[in-house]
Amino acid sequence: MLEARWAEGKFLCIGLDVDATKLPESIRGSTIERTIVAFNRAIIDATKDLVCSYKPNIAFYESHGDQGMAALRETMAYIIEINPEIPVILDAKRGDIGNTNVQYALSAFEYLRADAITVHPYLGKESLLPFFEYVDKGVIVLSHTSNPGAAEVQELIVEGQPLYQKIAHLVSHEWNGNENCCVMVGATYPQQLKEVRAIVGDMPILVAGVGAQNGDLEKTVKYGLDSRKKGLMVNASRTIIFASREKDFADAARARAQELHDAITKAV
């Protein structure tokens, strides 16, 4: 699915991180579920021809209980309905012991029908097997995240190299037996992205932090593309979906997505 999007020159991943406090009054419905679904549908309809993937973060839905989770499921079903060739990444950053991850995998891949999920590597390969065993699903392992405090743990030296490099090596050389692994690196750390790309070869990389976190887009593309000028998902969330809080929010999101798409294309 990603290969087809990359072949069309599409590298933008839009994060559907729906902060209810920022939703336009014009879209508000009778319930939070209907409001979130209406907002997401409008954003998706306005941007679906520009993206390589969508990435809803589960926290923005779980916080609204049953209605939020219903809205997430309906949002993901809507993407499948209008274009089943657009991958949907569930940004849940799961990571627990094996029998717990079995349940997380069931929720993500069978109930929500996600095409991929983000996971923590801290418990090792054995714990992540329930995700890896879904051979037709993507498993995106955190290597170096975009937050300011990431270095505190992720740059600790382990066996002579920073931990994030060790993780990248494990994922690409030891954990990818089913060829369904990816890694995640923050755009706010371009040098680390360059190093991770050198380690993982042509494995797909999800890059977060372009936009509200001020990641360097030009360096993200330069260092993130693989040897084929593919293999990259550039995520932006708030700067696109909340480009306007007025009635024109979908048009504004489209304009911002187009701007980022064009900038990525130019950098490629």
Q: What is the C-alpha to C-alpha distance for residues 250 and 39, in angstroms, rounded to an integer? A: 8
242, 15 in Cβ contact below 8 A?
no
246, 24 in Cβ contact below 8 A?
yes
Q: Where are the alpha helices (DSSP H) in the chain?
A: 2-7, 32-47, 59-62, 65-82, 98-105, 125-132, 151-154, 163-173, 190-200, 217-224, 238-241, 249-267
137 is catalytic: no
Q: What is the C-alpha to C-alpha distance for residues 210 and 224, in angstroms, rounded to an integer? A: 13
Q: Is the dihedral of CA 65, 66, 67, 69 positive or negative?
A: positive
Largest CA distance in the chain: 57
The catalytic residue among 10, 55, 93, 125 is 93
Q: Which amino acid is at 31?
A: T
List residues with catalytic annotation. 93
